[in-house]
A and B are shown apart, each in its own frame.
Chain A
Amino acid sequence: MWSISDKGEREFTGGKEDWAAVAHIAENCPGFKPDDEDEMVADEAVSCYNCRYRRWTIKSFVCCK
């Protein structure tokens, strides 16, 4: 589910469209914090895609927590 980059960052391997998986991850993540409302992209309020600690990459996102 996660790959580790050369920089030691955790990148989600499911890409940008795995809505159910990232909602499940975020629900169980103590570090989840909702991003600015204008930056949200997922319908599920609690989702890595809506988290202020995600950083988009070309294929997916990196978790900064």
Chain B
Amino acid sequence: MKIFVAIDDSLQLDGGKAGVTASLLTQAIEDNGWGKCTIPSRHRLYPHPDTGCKKHNTARSFSADIEEQYLQVFIDYACKLIKSSGTPDSNAGLAIAVPELMENTDELLDYAYRVKEGMVSKNDALAFADKPGIYLFELSGSGKGIIGALAAAGLRITGNDGQFRGKLQLSKVESYVATVSEIIYNTYVEQVKNMEMENIGLDEYVRMGEKVKVVLLDNKYTLMVFPTDIQHPKWQTSTTHMLRVF
């Protein structure tokens, strides 16, 4: 079964460990033979001090194909790991969504976009707790992390939100120029698009920037580029500033 796992524990001022925790969870699933995972993504939520976030408001999510008999084993493992990795002031939450068991996926997606665009209460998240295919766990502090965690699960299901952890490196050569086909062949990138969301052809050339991030679009690992306004190469990887919408 396909599951979407999401965590939010970003209260820690000096923290920023949710991404690491998400990576550890994917590693556990694969190392234990419970299933196969996708790369964790970071989803931006509504940045407001009243959300209880000291630093930023983001949550991490990934999907996995796991054998049904391992779901409870994984949930127990994840709860234990997240509890043990938090700090005393964190408000960690874990959400797992299983679309094939859900009666109405759209209401989760609506909720996710509401959390991205405005304030949502913990009760709004808890309204999903008894719905089939949704598993929510308040793991430390006030448990408010379930608000963002549930939203991140929904945003990941949309296939059109979030940035992937880490930087993409194709070559150690500075300002390396590659064709789109070379990028797709040698990395986990599945498609290249410009900022107007148009696909870039396989034989087009792209200058790789210093810090190359991959985003989730069309349910694919997507590299975003913008025009250089010169003949060759025609494209340049999008900057951090340009990708802040993801």
Query: Are the CB atoms of B49 and A62 closer together than 8 Å?
Result: yes
Cβ A58 vs Cβ B56 within 8 A: no
The A contact surface, by secondary structure, is loop
Sampled A-B contacts (13; CB under 8 Å): A19-B241, A38-B42, A39-B55, A41-B241, A54-B55, A55-B49, A55-B54, A55-B56, A56-B53, A56-B56, A56-B57, A57-B49, A64-B13
Taking the complex as formed, is B140 at the interface, i.e. its CB lies under 8 A from any CB of chain A?
A: no
Residues in B with CB closer than 8 Å to A39 are 16, 42, 55-56, 58
- Asked whether any CB of chain B lies closer than 8 Å to the CB of A6, the reply is no
A52–B15 Cα distance when bound, in Å, is 9
The answer to whether A55 touches B42 (Cβ under 8 A) is no
CB of A43 within 8 A of CB of B57, answer: no
Whether A57 and B48, one on each chain, are in contact in the complex, defined by CB atoms closer than 8 angstroms, is yes
> Contact mask B220-245 → A, CB, 8 Å, 1/0?
00000000000000000001110010
A residues adjacent to B (C-beta < 8 A): 19, 35-43, 52-58, 62, 64
Number of A-B contacts (CB under 8 A): 53
By a beta-carbon cutoff of 8 Å, the part of chain B in contact with chain A is 13-14, 16, 19, 42, 47-49, 53-58, 163, 165-167, 239-241, 244
Expressed in whole angstroms, the minimum distance between the Cβ of A54 and any Cβ of chain B is: 8
A33 to chain B, nearest CB (A): 9
Cα–Cα, bound, A1→B177 (Å): 41
B167 touches A37 (CB 8 A): yes
The contact of B48 among A40, A53, A56, by CB within 8 Å, is A56
Q: Across the interface, which residues of A come within 8 angstroms of B42, CB to CB?
A: 38-39
Q: Give Cα distance in the complex from A58 to B57, angstroms.
A: 12
Report whether A42 and B48 are in contact in the complex, using a CB–CB cutoff of 8 Å: no
Contact A55 B55, beta carbon cutoff 8 Å? yes
